[in-house]
C-alpha cells in the first residue's frame, strides 16, 4: 500500500563501519537480521514480512567500509560490474 517499485534491485548491500575493508556474501538469515537491526521502529512494525523476504530474495552482501571511502566505492563498482 503506497509502495511502488521505481527501479530494479539486483542485489542488497549492507554497510558495516568495520575498519577493515571487505566485501562478503551473506545468507537470508544474516541479511534479515541486519535489515531489521538497521530499520526504524515504524519500519519494523509496518513492513510486511513478505516485503522483506521478497527484498532479500536476491544476492545480499556486507561491505565493511574500511578507512578509505574510495576503496569501498571501488569494491561496490566491481560488484556492480560483476553482477551485470
What is each CA distance from 74 to 20, 23, 68, 78, 83, in whole angstroms?
Answer: 15, 11, 10, 6, 14
Looking at residue 23, what is its pLDDT?
95
Q: At CA 49, angle to CA 56 and CA 41, rounded to 5?
A: 100
How sure is the predictor about 82, in pLDDT bands with cuts at 50, 70 and 90? Answer: confident
pTM for the model stands at: 0.83
In tens, the pLDDT along 34-81 reads 999 999 999 889 999 898 999 999 999 999 999 999 999 999 999 988
How sure is the predictor about 33, in pLDDT bands with cuts at 50, 70 and 90? Answer: very high
Mean pLDDT, to the nearest integer, of 11-39? 95
Report residue 60 as a C-alpha cell: 545480499
Amino acid at each position: 500500500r503506497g509502495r511502488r517499485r521505481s527501479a530494479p534491485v539486483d542485489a542488497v548491500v549492507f554497510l558495516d563501519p568495520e575498519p577493515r575493508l571487505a566485501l562478503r556474501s551473506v545468507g537470508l538469515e544474516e541479511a534479515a537480521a541486519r535489515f531489521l537491526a538497521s530499520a526504524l521502529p515504524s519500519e519494523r512494525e509496518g513492513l510486511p514480512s513478505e516485503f522483506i523476504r521478497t527484498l532479500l530474495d536476491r544476492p545480499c552482501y556486507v561491505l565493511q567500509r574500511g578507512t578509505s571511502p574510495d576503496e569501498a566505492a571501488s569494491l561496490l563498482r566491481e560488484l556492480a560490474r560483476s553482477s551485470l
